[in-house]
Amino acid sequence: MTLFRQLFFGASLLFLLVLAGVEAIYLSNARLYVQQQLESHSQDAATSLALWLSTVKPFEDRALIETVVNTSFDRGYYQSIRVVSVSGATLVDKELAPAQGEVPAWFARLFPLHPPSAESLISSGWRQLGRVLVTSHPNFAYLQLWHTALQTLALLLLVYALSLIALRAFLATILRPLREIEQAAGAIGERDFRTIALAPKARELGRVVTAMNSLSAKIRQVIEAESARAETLQREAYRDPVTGLLNRRGLEHELLSLFRAERDVFSGAFVLIELERFKEYNLHHGYQRADELLALLAQTISGANQAAVCSRFGGASFALAAVNIDAGAARALAGAVSARVEAALAEQALTGEIEFHCGAAHFDAGAPPLPELLAAADLALTRAQGKGPDSFDLIALAELDRRGRGSLAWREQIEAAIDGGKLALYAQTVLSLPARAPLQSEVVTRLLEDGSHPVPAAQFLPMAARHGLTPRLDKRLLELLIARIDAGAALAPAIAVNISAQTIADAAACRSLFEVLQGRQDIAARLVFEMTEFGVIRAPALSLAFATEVRRLGAQFAIDNFNLHRDSLRQLHQLLPHYIKLAPAYTNELTQNQDSRFIVSSLIRIAQTLDIGIIAQAVESDSLILLLQDMGFAGYQGYANGKPAPIG
């Protein structure tokens, strides 16, 4: 029960007891007053009758005495009236049965009235004639006391109701800072370090608010400082200081990260631009003018495609990579880059003094190995150099894969596998650090070719993404996984499944996925949906909505293949994933590159402050595991744990 309710119910109960006590005291005093009134009424009636009866002559005339008595008795205010002669003989005896009328019996028992009796002598001169005894009837007294009780009760209930309203308003006012404190504490628990704007007047609450705001501000400053430090380290290690673009090392990191997002990347182009005779320009005009020209060309090339990854590839070479574009768009991109560079050189009156060539490689049906892509772009650049100055050439990597299967054949096979049950589930165990105990099982799917031969995801997932089949594939994987869990499959308590950007962008597919989880809280509590950094950055709002909904259903959300993109740290603060899996490109460099260790260490400090675990991928050696443990990784996965195995 909330503090507001406790105080409200406690104060209202206390006030109710006070009002009940007031009512009881008031009615008790009223009963005493009525009792005294009855006694006075009896005595007055007896005295009055005695005076009247003293005038009756002869006094022994019973009929005349009864006539005098009846004038008073018939009014109903008396329970009994007796007239007794001096000799003790009863001349008149009138009795009225006791009754409370409309007054409840319990009320009469709770506030009893005792009928008082009074006596008066009947005399004529100095001679005593007899006595008259009068007992008042309590019926009217009970009725008056009952009406008084009802009226006072109604008034007190009205006062009680108004008091409750005032009490509620009062408590709401004084406890408003406490509600703000509660919400802020809950937000801090959810890793949202907000501040409380309300300044409570109560000194104790004011001190609590000040302390919480100070705590939130300090943690937020630590996170911001670490984020800035990580960005600075990344910029120094992976960005060219002259142009602000990625350097070659940063480009390779970015491409490796993109190519691992098989569910989201299915085609792309890689463009190389090389300036000729730039060394002579540098010597003739000086380094400052040369750097200014490089910065201008960098801005020109990056403006050809805002979504592309741009890099200063070498001294006078630039590179540009774009994903999910067809061959026609790749050729248009290479042409646009060439035209923009040519126009920029013309504006600087450098046409003829500096020449350039552009070579592009386009891939389809999944990303090729990075060396193969670079070699194809370099070959296209060589062919462009053979065409003459300021020219470009494009090489399209064969649309057929190594098996000679075309795009349409892949689509038909993938659809048949989804509809015909030719999919197999594989799981790889993720181990925790430092205990090296099972942390989770990451579940992936394999396409069964010829009924039994598993095809790796890297071969068919890009084609599934190209043809928009990943939403169906993601749902089918979840259905198969739930069936395996119900059948008692040996999996870790936590189970990671991948989700594609295509799926979260499809509202109908998301609803269908959520319907599968609806009512299966036992399954949802074990699931963690992993989305690549590439997909998160391309659709931040959709990623946040998806993460919110799966958490509502009881599952968790995580980011896979985290590559420290320029926008990734901001998304980390907004999404607050359960954990992140570091891109293998960083993992592989930890033992060899000091810059990578500095960057990852900053990321770990930021993540620990936000209560986000970091898991390393592609771990294959014990020496790397020891380094990961010293750096503060939460877990690791890779062939050091064993290859993915079929789920029985």
404 pLDDT more than 70: no
The pLDDT of residue 538 is above 90: no
pLDDT of residue 82: 86
DSSP 3-state assignment of 274?
strand
pLDDT for residue 284 is more than 60: yes
Between the alpha carbon of residue 605 and those of residues 225, 372, 592, the distances in Å are 10, 37, 21
Let me know: does 510 contact 542? Beta carbons within 8 Å. no
Among 63-77, 409-423, 479-493, 556-570, the range scoring the smallest mean pLDDT is 63-77
How high is the pLDDT of residue 98? 66
Rounded CA gap, 25 and 41, in Å? 24
113 CB contacts (<8 Å, ≥6 apart)? 31, 34, 35, 38, 138, 141, 142, 145
Residue bearing the bigger pLDDT, 145 or 1: 145
pLDDT in tens, 12-41: 899 889 888 888 888 888 888 888 888 888
| Residue 633 pLDDT > 60 | yes
Which residue, among 636, 582, 573, 571, has the nearest Cα to 609 in the 3D structure? 573
At 316 the three-state DSSP class reads coil
CA proximity to 242, closest of 202, 282, 183, 189 = 282
Q: Is the pLDDT of residue 180 over 80?
A: no
Here the tokens at position 265 are 């990347």
- Alpha carbon dihedral 120, 121, 125, 128, in 10-degree steps, equals 180
| Structure token digits, residue 152 | 């006072």
What pLDDT sits at residue 171?
81
pLDDT more than 70, % of the chain? 96
Query: Which two tokens mark 136?
Result: 């008042």
Looking at residue 617, its pLDDT comes to 92
pLDDT at 512 over 50: yes
Of 231, 164, 176, 229, the C-alpha closest to 201 is 176
Q: What's residue 593's pLDDT?
A: 81
The arithmetic mean of pLDDT across residues 134-155, rounded, is 85
Rounded Cα distance, 625 and 637, in Å = 10
Mean pLDDT of the chain: 85
439-451 confidence digits (pLDDT tens): 999 999 998 877 6
Paired with 62 in beta bridges are none
Q: C-alpha distances in angstroms, 522 versus 129, 334, 486, 498, 525?
A: 101, 52, 10, 19, 6
Q: Decide if pLDDT at 432 tops 50.
A: yes
User: Residue 310 contacts by C-beta under 8 Å, 6 or more apart in sequence?
Assistant: 245, 246, 298, 301, 302, 318, 319, 320
pLDDT at 297: 92
Helices (H), 388-505: 407-420, 457-466, 470-486, 501-505
| Residue 228 pLDDT exceeds 90 | no
Model confidence at 566, pLDDT cuts 50, 70, 90, reads: low
pLDDT greater than 70 at residue 403: no
> CA-to-CA distance for 165 and 184, rounded, in angstroms?
28
606: Cβ contacts below 8 Å, ≥ 6 apart: 223, 226, 227, 230, 569, 572
Average pLDDT, integer, range 181-206: 73
Q: What is the pLDDT of residues 49-73, one digit of tens each?
A: 888 877 777 766 777 777 777 877 7
Question: How much of the chain exceeds pLDDT 90, in percent?
Answer: 25
Average confidence (pLDDT) over 601-622: 89
Q: What is the pLDDT, as a whole number, of residue 451?
A: 62
pLDDT value of residue 398: 60
Between CA 469 and CA 458 the distance in angstroms is: 15
3-state SS string for 506-570: CHHHHHHHHHHHCCCHHHHCCEEEEEEHHHHHHCHHHHHHHHHHHHHCCCEEEEEEECCCCCHHH
State how far the alpha carbon of 233 is from the alpha carbons of 237, 571, 615, in Å: 6, 19, 21
Alpha helices in 86-202 (DSSP H): 105-110, 139-189
- Ordered by where they begin, the domains of the chain are 3-161 (no CATH), 248-396 (3.30.70.270), 407-646 (3.20.20.450)
* Confidence band of 101 (pLDDT split at 50, 70, 90): low
pLDDT at 508: 92
pLDDT-derived band at 641, boundaries 50, 70, 90: confident
347: pLDDT strictly greater than 80:
yes
Look at 74 and 298; give whichever has higher pLDDT. 298
Mean pLDDT over residues 178-194, rounded? 73
State the pLDDT at residue 74: 72
Instruction: Answer for the pair 279, 334: CB distance below 8 angstroms, yes or no.
Output: no
pLDDT bin (cut points 50, 70, 90) of residue 473 is very high
**Tokens 């470009």 map to which residue?**
392
Q: Are 496 and 426 in contact (CB under 8 A)?
A: no
CA–CA separation, 237 and 601 (whole Å): 14
Q: What phi, psi does 447 have (nearest 5°)?
A: -90, 125
Q: What pLDDT, on the 0 to 100 scale, is given for residue 425?
A: 93
Distance (Å) of CA 376 to CA 61, 302, 646: 146, 21, 36
525 pLDDT more than 80: yes
In this structure, how many other beta carbons lie within 10 angstroms of the beta carbon of residue 639?
12
- 117-124/127-136 β-pairing: antiparallel
Give the model's confidence band at 438: pLDDT under 50 very low, under 70 low, under 90 confident, else very high.
Answer: very high
Q: What is the pLDDT of residue 401?
A: 44
> Residue 595 — pLDDT band, cuts 50, 70, 90?
confident
* Res 630: pLDDT: 92
Stronger pLDDT, 219 or 363, i.e. the higher one? 363
What's the average model confidence in pLDDT over 469-480?
92
Q: What is the mean pLDDT of residues 88-114?
A: 78
| 453 class by beta-carbon count within 10 Å (0-12 exposed, 13-18 middle, 19+ buried) | exposed
**Across residues 91-95, what is the average pLDDT?**
82
Lowest mean pLDDT among 131-140, 200-209, 463-472: 200-209
Query: Which residue type, as a one-letter code, is found at position 322?
Result: A
Please give the pLDDT value at position 400: 36
Residue 80, C-beta contacts closer than 8 angstroms, at least 6 positions apart: 93, 94, 95, 96, 133, 134, 135
